[in-house]
Structure 1
Amino acid sequence: MEDIFPKKANVVVVKCPGHVQVVVLNKEPLFFSLRDGHYFPTLRLLHHYPGFMREVQVDKGAIRFILGGAHIMCPGLTSKGGDMEEDLPAEQPVAIRAEGKEMVLALGLTKMSAAEIRGQNKGIAIELVHFLNDGLWRTEPIN
């Protein structure tokens, strides 16, 4: 934790329009919260600290949809290239990795448990909150 928040660091919480809060350390966004909900690490932080949060894997066919901002549908997790923990609960913040890729490409919040996702196998499984090349990813250091 001291790597992320060193002693005597300049930490600021920036309140943005749309009920978004961003935790900034030395001008770099590290965490964010939407509508006073869960705090998520930014993808940049997660790329420096892999394994920081629970992960799921989608099949490679889902990549272009995720990079366009689409939510994760159940078949993307239950297909041959998908993977998730058996005990994954609903309303769990997760990092999303794609089949065959090393780095996480998005963050989201599960809308169903793993058992529900496997049982229903249709509908939105994970609500996307941050993905590569979105506005937060493109944010320059904050002054």
Structure 2
Amino acid sequence: MTKTASFFFLPRFSSEDISGQNQVKASVQRRIRQSIAEEYPLLEPLLEDMLPKKSPMIVVKCQNHLNLVVVNNVPLFFNIRDGPYMPTLRLLHQYPNIMKKFQVDRGAIKFVLSGANIMCPGLTSPGGVLDNEVEEETPVAIMAEGKQHALAIGFTKMSAKDISTINKGIGVDNMHYLNDGLWKVLSAFPSTL
């Protein structure tokens, strides 16, 4: 799968953005499962329970190039512009160890929760933590100093090593955060369809 950094952000996402939904064929379902297994190897033992082969998989397409993967009326993953699949925050809260993690310091929390991208100094200052194995264009969970659950899911604009070295500018694009449009639609699902 080729990754791309040309993403749209989701803060303004709403149920009106949904343009269609399709139950996918078995071959498409296999491709989606394979992509998710490759992106999140720690999730592979759970995939059969999470994405059972016998349950219908529905892909909800949205006007803002967002696709939601829905199984048993539960949105589990999303991708934007055919980029990598990312778990929804609700799924990430259930399985917190499926993604690489970055941690922002306390001062960055309010900005991340308002949709701001994650700046390098928020990750490198005391309270911030980087996983040095993370490369550019990788989905990551954004944790916060002193908090138990992820507050956002992002897509790295540079590697963790470059974030440490350069230490300025945007390190991670904020893709999905607590209380954004996708979070609110997820809490009302499936009544939004």
- TM-score normalised to structure 2 length: 0.72
- 1:57 is aligned to 103
Distance 1:51 1:128 in 2: 19
Q: 1:70 aligns with which of 116, 141, 150?
A: 116
Give the structure with the higher percent helix.
Answer: 2
Q: 1:1-143 maps to which residues of 2 (within 5 A)?
A: 1-139=47-185, 140-142=188-190, 143=193
Task: Using the TM superposition, give the Cα deviation of residue 15 of structure 1 relative to its aligned residue in structure 2, in angstroms.
Answer: 0.8
Q: SS state of the match for residue 130, structure 1? A: strand
Which piece of structure 1 moves more, 40-49 or 133-142? 133-142
Distance 2:52 2:72 in 1: 10
Distance 1:91 1:134 in 2: 22
Q: Look at both structures and tell me which one has the larger radius of gyration over its CA atoms.
A: 2
Task: Using the TM superposition, give the Cα deviation of residue 3 of structure 1 relative to its aligned residue in structure 2, in angstroms.
Answer: 2.3
Q: SS state of the match for residue 47, structure 1? A: helix
Query: 1:28-81: CA deviations, max 9, x gaps?
Result: 111001111111000001111110111111101111000000000000100010
Distance 2:100 2:67 in 1: 22
Gaps of 5+ in 2: 1-46
Query: 1:60-115: CA deviations, max 9, x gaps?
Result: 11110000000000001000100011222110100000000000010000001111
Task: Using the TM superposition, give the Cα deviation of residue 26 of structure 1 relative to its aligned residue in structure 2, in angstroms.
Answer: 1.3
- TM-score normalised to structure 1 length: 0.96
Aligned length, in residue pairs: 143
Distance 1:9 1:135 in 2: 27
Q: SS state of the match for residue 6, structure 1? A: coil
What is the letter of the counterpart of residue 31 of structure 1? F
Distance 2:102 2:90 in 1: 18
Q: SS state of the match for residue 136, structure 1? A: helix
Q: SS state of the match for residue 51, structure 1? A: coil
RMSD: 1.0
What is the letter of the counterpart of residue 86 of structure 1? N
After TM superposition, the runs of 4+ consecutive aligned structure 1 residues lying more than 2 A away are: none
Distance 1:39 1:2 in 2: 17
- Identity rate, percent: 56
Task: Using the TM superposition, give the Cα deviation of residue 7 of structure 1 relative to its aligned residue in structure 2, in angstroms.
Answer: 4.2
Distance 1:82 1:120 in 2: 15
